[in-house]
Amino acid sequence: MHNTLLTIITFIFVFGILVFVHELGHFFFAKKSGVLVREFSIGMGPKLVAFRRGTTSYTIRILPVGGYVRMAGAQEDESDELQPGTMVTIQTNAANEVIRLNASQKKQTLFQGIPVQISEVDLVDGLWIKGYENGDETEIKTFNVNHDATIIEADGTEVQIAPKDVQFQSAKLWQRALINFAGSLNNFILAIVVFAIIGLLQGFVPSNSTTLGHIVDNSVAQKAGLKEGDAIQKVADQPVKNWTELQTMLQSRPGKETKLVVKQGSMTKQITLTPATIKSNGQKFGQIGVQQVVKRNISDRLLYGFSGAYTTAANVLHALANLFHGGFSLNKLGGPVAIFANTEQAAKAGFISVLLLLAFLSINIGIVNLLPIPALDGGKLLLNFVEAIRRKPLSEDKENMVQIAGFIFLMLLMFAVTFNDVIRYFIK
């Protein structure tokens, strides 16, 4: 029970930071570009907490598996369209402009609110409401709406209306592209900071050279004659320039006889060994039982922020490149269930392991979000690129079709990955 609670708390902590930092990137650059951010949400589903600061409503929602920045006029923004016949309550200022509009079905009242049955409304260009006041159907009245008016939506969340001049599409193309890229940018920055913290806390950082550190007793490496201080230059006739390449090559050869070119002191020699086969998450990896050389000076520990992030990014990109190598398999992907399972292992291993998981996931999310798939940030950047080439955006209908197709694809993939993860981690 204690371990489960610790895992849940750690999962919410890790996922909460990842979502907050990612969405904060979109939020910051949207604000700087003059785009109205109507809502900043952590979590999905029904809201637990909501409050307003300035022109933005901040909400925490019940499901800790995502979040969003709701920018005026963007794909994620819900329409404020009020259908004819809808009953609302409005609140006006001294100039008789509507400053608050209650469209909620919940029992919320506005001070000195005026009941109005909507006949027509324009909250984007003209900024007016037409309707019957207090049930009097003999006269249609027109109410001007203040540019900064707010609307209480069906679920009770109060957000600012979205006039045309503060909508996402009103920003310059380069600003919209920067807003779309900013979430991943923040994830990369977070990973750099976390890796630097790890270096400072643990007192040492791994070197990315191909020089061997500790050799595990009775390991494949020790039995083959490898020693601490040896530098591996080639694996299976392929040159390796750093630890990442060395590790990748060895992991790709489980149970396969492998020739190494090794520099021992002033001599270069060939050593043949067979990496042991290690199974993890339904996949097989080669392992010979060697560890990296570690560095302990303060500058290397701080610079580990960059080197650790770079190494992790290279590994993620390599994994993406090999996603279809040897046949596509859902076991090569992981969703929230896989993250939860890895969080459980990290929580048991200690705080440093949790930080490593946080940094890895931050790089992972940053890169995956930049893939040119509709509904991801990379898909939006692709549309920005198409707009730059065409010198005009796609029509709203075509863009919506692309985004909907991408969303359906991602939902189907997420369902398949989650189902596969449940079988992998909890049934088999």
Q: List, run by run, the mean pLDDT of 10-residue segments along the chain (428 residues).
A: 74 88 95 93 87 91 85 74 82 89 74 85 91 84 92 85 91 94 96 94 87 90 90 91 88 90 90 88 83 89 91 82 63 62 72 90 90 86 89 74 70 65 59
Residue 46: inside a domain, yes or no?
no
- Whether 163 and 193 map to the same domain: the answer is no
pLDDT of residue 192: 97
Number of compact structural domains in the chain:
3
User: Taking Cα atoms as reference points, which of 287, 269, 291 lies closest to residue 278?
Assistant: 287
* Residue type, position 46, single letter: P
- Whether 195 and 254 map to the same domain: the answer is no
Alpha-carbon gap, residue 93 to 143, rounded angstroms: 11
Q: 372 near 379, Cβ under 8 Å?
A: yes
- Whether 312 and 376 map to the same domain: the answer is yes
pLDDT of residue 199: 92
pLDDT of residue 302: 92
- Whether 420 and 280 map to the same domain: the answer is no
What 8-state DSSP symbol labels residue 393?
Answer: P
CATH number of the domain enclosing 283:
2.30.42.10
- Whether 310 and 240 map to the same domain: the answer is no
228 is catalytic: no
Domain membership of residue 245 as a residue range: 208-292
Q: What angle do CA 194, 200, 202 make, to 5 degrees?
A: 100
Alpha-carbon gap, residue 191 to 34, rounded angstroms: 28
- Domain edge (last residue) among 257, 292, 327: 292
**17-38 burial: b if 16+ Cβ within 10 Å, else e:** ebbebbbbbbbbbbbebebbbb
- Domain edge (last residue) among 237, 271, 292: 292
- Domain edge (last residue) among 292, 318, 341: 292
Which are the contacts of 46, defined by CB distance < 8 A and separation ≥ 6? 61, 62, 155
- Whether 422 and 302 map to the same domain: the answer is yes
Residue 71: inside a domain, yes or no?
no
- Whether 214 and 277 map to the same domain: the answer is yes
Alpha-carbon gap, residue 69 to 156, rounded angstroms: 18
- Whether 222 and 196 map to the same domain: the answer is no
- Whether 339 and 390 map to the same domain: the answer is yes
Lookup result for tokens 């027509």 = 120
Residue 370: inside a domain, yes or no?
yes
- Whether 181 and 257 map to the same domain: the answer is no
Residue 44: inside a domain, yes or no?
no
User: From the CB of residue 112, how many other CB atoms can be counted at a distance below 10 Å?
Assistant: 8
User: Taking Cα atoms as reference points, which of 365, 43, 37, 60 lies closest to residue 189?
Assistant: 365
Residue 39: inside a domain, yes or no?
no
- Whether 233 and 260 map to the same domain: the answer is yes
Residue 48: inside a domain, yes or no?
no
Q: What region does 220 belong to: left with phi over 0, alpha with psi -120 to 50, or beta?
A: alpha
- Whether 363 and 388 map to the same domain: the answer is yes
Q: How far is CA 373 from its chain centroid?
A: 14
Q: What region does 334 belong to: left with phi over 0, alpha with psi -120 to 50, or beta?
A: beta
46 CB-contact burial (10 Å; exposed 0-12 / middle 13-18 / buried 19+): exposed
pLDDT of residue 39: 92
pLDDT of residue 69: 92
Residue 200: inside a domain, yes or no?
yes
